[in-house]
Chains A and B, each alone.
Chain A
Amino acid sequence: MEISSLTFLYIFLPAALLLFRIAPAKFRGAVLAAISAGFVLLSEPEHFVFLTGEIVILYFLSEAMFRFSENPKKKKAIFFAALFLNVSSMIVFSVRSQLEGGFAPFAAMVVSFTAIGYFVDLYKGETDPIRSFADFAVFLVFFGKLARGPLIRAKDFRELSGTVKPDLSETGGGIYLFIRGLAKYTVLSLPLASLRESLFAANSEEISVIGAWLDMVVFSMMIFFDLSGFCDMARGLGKCFGIELPKNFYFPFQSPSVSDFLDRFNMTVTAFFRHYVYDVLRNDKNSRPQFIVNTVLISMLCGIWFGIRMNFIFWGLYIAAFIIIEEFFLRRFLEKIPHFFARIYTFVVTMFSMVIFSASDIDSILISYKAMFGIGADMITDSVTYIVSQNMLVLIGGAFFLISAFSMLIRRISKKSPGLFSFFAVIESAVLLVLITAELL
């Protein structure tokens, strides 16, 4: 069962909400853990036993770490055992999905990275252990965040941990956010994916300048609406069940610098690597070579999050190169020029990065870049003109929602006139629900 399915929307979600609300307060964590287990069982039955086993082992390791907190040797051994278990599980899942031709094993990545963060924090004494098994399970496999994240740290999670009953306003607000995320995915990302498939086929036969540029823009929009849509769904579901999940995307393509782009694109993952890798490697001297090494490492890890593939590693290197150039040469210039031009610069650079992100091999990257600059390619082919004519609405819609204008307007309304915002939210939810349902039929 996918989170973007009619079964989830109209059967699983209402049933889960009802179960959660009627459960006595002290069992709410257990109910949410059971709901999440049910979701994993229905969506990835082949991984259910493994994930359950992994969580049980990790829970006992967490308990052991608590018990031996005064014994540094044992504590260290337990920490490395947890680290080994999570890293090897990530590698096994990642390699297996590569061999099977799949994309990134997001659920396995989300669970493993969250667990690694938790054990590092626990080891360093930055968080207390999660003693309840149900809370621990919800922290790792809350069903809302399994698809694409976001990552959450234990210190941000534990205050709520599914034991607080959200009121009607919070639940309604959560569903509203969930519907918006689902609409981003079904109404924008899926049609963009189909448009990209057509463009890919047209470009494979005869690549053109506009075809190559369009492919890059469409892919960027598709990946943005996919990832940020899933993140909104996760946050919305979190609200419904009393879990505050962080934002993961904040209009990355209108960042004023590439460095800022990385902070807005998959931001919980970037923050994770910054906290657990960059800060550990950084020392007081903070030299240029060290900055370069750390930046390259963090950017590459941000790429590898999407899968252990050469193009993701190259994407990380490309982003790192621009962050380093900005740090040493462009920072003052970018701060001086009007914000709009800084954003244009970032937009172009990050869009170009998406050619690498989406490519299957180096040859196809070179072919795309050459075509974009008119080397050995016509300006436009008939097929591309046709594809554009057939997809005007999704292209315009994608471009419109890629920037923050609409979101800013909604936020302003919600601050200045909560009543008007509520009215607007009901209308928007109804319209989006109709569109989503029609698309999923």
Chain B
Amino acid sequence: MKKFAAFLILAMIFGTSTAIIFNISSAESFPSEGNALEKTESALSENMPFRKSLSKLMDGIRYLSGVRHFGDIYIGNKGSLLREIPKPTSRTYSAAKNYVIGFAEKNQIKPYFMLVPTASAILRHEIDDFASEDLYNQRSIITRMYSEFEGKVRTTDIYQTLFDRRNEYIYYHTENLPTCLGGYYIYGELCSRLEIEQNTLDSFSVSYSAHGFYGSLATDFLQSYASPDFVSLYEYIGNDYNVIVEHKKADGNASILNGLFVYNEDAFEDKTDMILGGFSPVIEITAAESLGERNSILIFGDESAKSWIPFLVSNFGKITFVDLDSATESLLSKIKTSDYGSVLFAYSTATFTEGIDFEKLEYIK
């Protein structure tokens, strides 16, 4: 080999090495997890020159070679990013069954339960037929969970309803959440199960915002293959009523929002936070006109509730929403079940299979 060529090859190694060491020395922090070698390997990886471009290049090569599955995310052929959910264990079902039934019996309250399928189930037609074989069957998760309750809990099956409307914009392309339109269809099924009157879609004024945003599923590389999203905000126009949304934080602080939505899209990095002004461990929503005990509902759920809670507000005077994962003992101990006519457990299948902190129900008296 010619000397100059040999010099260039050696320069590549030594040059990259020097650049990494320079980057590490000027980095703010050094990785803290693992042993010394693992920390060094992580530091080298994090401080590699052109790191993002290199990752993008590798993913691009994989994409060109036919790969549509990156980590737990599939790229749908209509621009949706579909996140696979983890497999549930037997304990997932038994925990949900025991805690939900136990909670209802202990507090003498009518229990309702709903599992909301994620886009990877409803929009699986957007993935290559063979790829969808790999996806976990969410239909079977829902069916099994509902049958575990043996009629002691009233369940709401929305799978078919959403599936029939799979060609509409019912899921964000780049967030693992239903859109508000999807939320309306969920609300419709809830109404019939809760035996309340469903307000028709034309009872709501709709405004569109945050056009072209990319959600949390769209990493640098995946963004190139995903369709952007927008947020639709449905405001009830059937009655002239005032809604107050109180966010109760884990640190004991609280903030109040007048109305269900924040119409300033720049106020939030996560544009879906325009709905209800974001997500908190406990959110208390009250309509100015008190509609009495029968029309109060306690909801345990996850972020997927952002899509349908605004509709439910048109039927209830008071809704208390609780995220068990982030709620603290002091927040939960202040909730009195006697204030509510019914309790609804509503989770996406993703949250359900990842595991819910049901043990915290013990804190509610």
Interface set of A (CB-CB < 8 Å, partner B): 1, 5-7, 9-11, 13-14, 17, 42, 168-173, 175-176, 179, 382-383, 385-386, 389-394, 418-419, 421-423, 425-426, 429-430, 433-435, 437-441
Compute how far the CA of A385 lies from the CA of B133 in the bound complex, rounded to whole angstroms: 11
Contact A390 B66 (CB under 8 A): yes
Contact A10 B20 (CB under 8 A): yes
Contact A429 B9 (CB under 8 A): yes
Contact B6 A171 (CB under 8 A): yes
Compute how far the CA of A389 lies from the CA of B129 in the bound complex, rounded to whole angstroms: 11
Contact B44 A172 (CB under 8 A): no
B48 to chain A, nearest CB (A): 6
Contact A439 B58 (CB under 8 A): yes
Within 8 A of A (CB), among B89-111: none
Contact B66 A437 (CB under 8 A): no
Contact B12 A429 (CB under 8 A): yes
Contact of A437 among B14, B16, B67, B131 (CB under 8 A): B16
Given contacts A421-B1, A425-B1, contact A438 B55 (CB under 8 A): yes
Report chain A residues within 8 Å CB of B208: none
Task: Other than A14-B13, A175-B6, give 18 A-B pairs with Cβ distance below 8 A.
Answer: A10-B17, A11-B40, A13-B13, A171-B6, A172-B7, A382-B130, A383-B133, A386-B131, A389-B66, A389-B130, A391-B66, A393-B61, A394-B65, A422-B6, A425-B9, A437-B48, A438-B57, A439-B58
B2 contacts the other chain (Cβ, under 8 Å)?
A: yes
Max chain A CB contacts within 10 Å: which of B1, B3, B17, B66?
B1
Contact A425 B5 (CB under 8 A): yes
Within 8 A of A (CB), among B17-65: 17, 20, 37, 40-41, 44-45, 48, 51, 54-55, 57-58, 61-62, 64-65
Report chain A residues within 8 Å CB of B257: none
CB-defined A-B contacts under 8 Å, sample of 16:
A9-B13, A10-B13, A11-B44, A17-B10, A172-B3, A176-B6, A382-B129, A390-B65, A390-B67, A392-B65, A393-B64, A419-B2, A433-B12, A434-B54, A435-B58, A437-B48
A interface SS class: helix
Given contacts A6-B44, A382-B133, A441-B54, contact A393 B65 (CB under 8 A): yes
A26 to chain B, nearest CB (A): 25
The chain A residue sitting closest to B65, CB to CB, is A393
Contact B66 A438 (CB under 8 A): no
Report chain B residues within 8 Å CB of A394: 65
Contact of A422 among B1, B48, B129 (CB under 8 A): B1
Contact B54 A175 (CB under 8 A): no
B8 contacts the other chain (Cβ, under 8 Å)?
A: yes
Given contacts A168-B3, A175-B9, A390-B66, contact A10 B44 (CB under 8 A): yes
Compute how far the CA of A168 lies from the CA of B3 in the bound complex, rounded to whole angstroms: 6
Report chain A residues within 8 Å CB of B1: 169, 172-173, 176, 418, 421-422, 425
Report chain B residues within 8 Å CB of A386: 128-131, 133-134
Compute how far the CA of A126 lies from the CA of B142 in the bound complex, rounded to whole angstroms: 75
Given contacts A6-B45, A441-B51, contact A14 B14 (CB under 8 A): yes
Compute how far the CA of A425 lies from the CA of B7 in the bound complex, rounded to whole angstroms: 12
B84 to chain A, nearest CB (A): 14
Contact of B69 among A390, A393, A418, A440 (CB under 8 A): A390
B17 to chain A, nearest CB (A): 4
Given contacts A382-B130, A390-B69, A418-B2, contact A10 B41 (CB under 8 A): no
Contact B37 A172 (CB under 8 A): no
Compute how far the CA of A215 lies from the CA of B48 in the bound complex, rounded to whole angstroms: 35
Given contacts A10-B20, A439-B58, contact A426 B44 (CB under 8 A): no
A49 to chain B, nearest CB (A): 18
A20 to chain B, nearest CB (A): 13
Contact A172 B6 (CB under 8 A): yes
Report chain B residues within 8 Å CB of A438: 54-55, 57-58
Compute how far the CA of A252 lies from the CA of B82 in the bound complex, rounded to whole angstroms: 43
B68 contacts the other chain (Cβ, under 8 Å)?
A: yes
Contact B17 A11 (CB under 8 A): yes
A275 to chain B, nearest CB (A): 32
Contact A172 B9 (CB under 8 A): yes
Report chain A residues within 8 Å CB of B14: 14
Contact B13 A383 (CB under 8 A): no
Max chain A CB contacts within 10 Å: which of B2, B4, B17, B54?
B2
Compute how far the CA of A9 lies from the CA of B68 in the bound complex, rounded to whole angstroms: 30
| A-B CB proximity, top 8 nearest | A172-B6, A386-B130, A393-B65, A422-B5, A422-B2, A438-B58, A438-B54, A6-B44
Contact of B13 among A175, A389, A393, A418 (CB under 8 A): A175
Report chain A residues within 8 Å CB of B8: 172, 426, 429
Compute how far the CA of A10 lies from the CA of B1 in the bound complex, rounded to whole angstroms: 22
Compute how far the CA of A10 lies from the CA of B54 in the bound complex, rounded to whole angstroms: 16
Contact B9 A426 (CB under 8 A): yes
Compute how far the CA of A48 lies from the CA of B31 in the bound complex, rounded to whole angstroms: 27
Given contacts A169-B2, A425-B5, contact A7 B17 (CB under 8 A): no
Contact of A171 among B10, B58, B133, B134 (CB under 8 A): B10
B256 to chain A, nearest CB (A): 45
Contact B57 A7 (CB under 8 A): no
Report chain B residues within 8 Å CB of A5: 41
Given contacts A9-B13, A10-B16, A10-B20, contact A168 B65 (CB under 8 A): no
Report chain B residues within 8 Å CB of A389: 66, 128, 130
Contact A7 B58 (CB under 8 A): no
Compute how far the CA of A389 lies from the CA of B6 in the bound complex, rounded to whole angstroms: 39
Compute how far the CA of A172 lies from the CA of B69 in the bound complex, rounded to whole angstroms: 38
Contact A168 B7 (CB under 8 A): yes
Report chain A residues within 8 Å CB of B12: 429-430, 433
